[in-house]
Amino acid sequence: MSLEAKSALVTGGSRGIGKAIALSFAREGCMVAVNHNKNKEKAEMIVNDIRRKLGRKAIAIKGDVSKRKDVETMFKQVIDAFGKIDILVNNAGIYVPSPILETTDEVWNVTLGVNLKGVFMCIREAARYMVPRKYGKIINISSNSGFGVALWGDTSYAVSKAGVIQLTKNAAFELGRYGINVNCVAPGAVDTDMLKGDLDKGGYRKFIESRKEVSSLGKIGRPEDIANTVLFFASDASNYVTGKTLLVDGGRRDYL
């Protein structure tokens, strides 16, 4: 699944799943733009690792995917640095747990702004560069929360991630005639810093054990597990696959 001489933008690439994706791409020969909004130091550390340890071109790009001007600037920086954009990974996302009666307009708008509107705007901007070249790979990161199992306090997040799944289908249908593949990866529970930050120590351990119990494999995922799946969709091994969403959740039993 070589990505030799390809170029990619990974949104939310400074930590967790995004970091694993950026590093996996670089190992396969890809030039990588690591997007961040607030984690400049972490993004630059990843870029330095890619340059020094893997010998690949890499840049860090600041930008809020929910803001159109930021999105336009991000892609211009990728083109300036690499001359083209072959692969887009829409990984940036936020999670603000909140029951419906406690969900403010701001929480709803921010969640859908990043998780859904941001994905749409990045797809639209990437397509403007990919269509003339008749080539592109777009991979969206959703969640198993987008598959219709209701969880307490999960409404705004789940709705945004369900929207990403449908957006993937529509974008694949419209962009397929231009040689652009659009697919989606829906992770289950993955052990990341973001997850640890959202839960206190006791809550974190309880959450991990609860997810192990519903996993057919009896475990939760690692960021590398998701990165390996994204790598398939980014490579030419997936040239005849588009509009699909793949659950990567250890065989969560209530989804089988």
For 131, what's the count of Cα atoms within 13 Å in the CB-facing half-sphere? 11
Question: How many secondary structure helices (H) and strands (E) does the chain include?
Answer: 9, 7
pLDDT of the residue at 210: 81
Task: Name the residue type at position 195.
Answer: L
Closest CA to 12 of 73, 89, 78, 75: 89
Please give the distance of CA 202 from its chain centroid, rounded to a whole number.
28
Mutual orientation of helices 155-175 and 118-130 as an angle, nearest 10°? 20
Contact between residue 107 and residue 82 where contact means Cβ atoms under 8 Å apart: no
Contact between residue 169 and residue 243 where contact means Cβ atoms under 8 Å apart: yes
pLDDT of the residue at 200: 58
For the beta sheet containing 87-90, the strands, ordered from the edge strand earlier in sequence to the opposite edge, are 58-62, 31-36, 7-10, 87-90, 136-141, 180-187, 245-248
Mark whether 240 is an active-site residue. Answer: no
Model pTM above 0.85: yes
Instruction: Please pick, among 95, 129, 135, 157, the residue that the annotation labels catalytic.
Output: 157
pLDDT of the residue at 67: 98
Mutual orientation of helices 40-54 and 16-27 as an angle, nearest 10°? 20
**81 Cβ partners below 8 Å, 6+ apart?**
31, 33, 57, 59
Interatomic CA distance for residues 131 and 110, integer angstroms: 30
| Domain 7-255, CATH among 3.40.50.300, 1.10.645.10, 3.30.70.1350, 3.40.50.720 | 3.40.50.720
The list of the chain residues with pLDDT below 70 reads 194-204, 255-256
pLDDT of the residue at 213: 85
| Tens digit of each residue's pLDDT (9 = 90 or more) over 222-252 | 999 999 999 999 999 999 999 999 999 999 8
Interatomic CA distance for residues 159 and 71, integer angstroms: 23
Tell me the domain boundaries of the chain.
7-255
Which residue shows structure tokens 């030799």? 4
Which long-range contacts link 69-75 to residues 24+ away (Cβ below 8 Å)? 71/118, 71/121, 71/122, 71/125, 72/125, 74/9, 74/33, 74/35, 74/125, 75/9, 75/125, 75/126, 75/128, 75/129
pLDDT of the residue at 16: 95
| Bridge pairing between strands 31-36 and 245-248 | unpaired
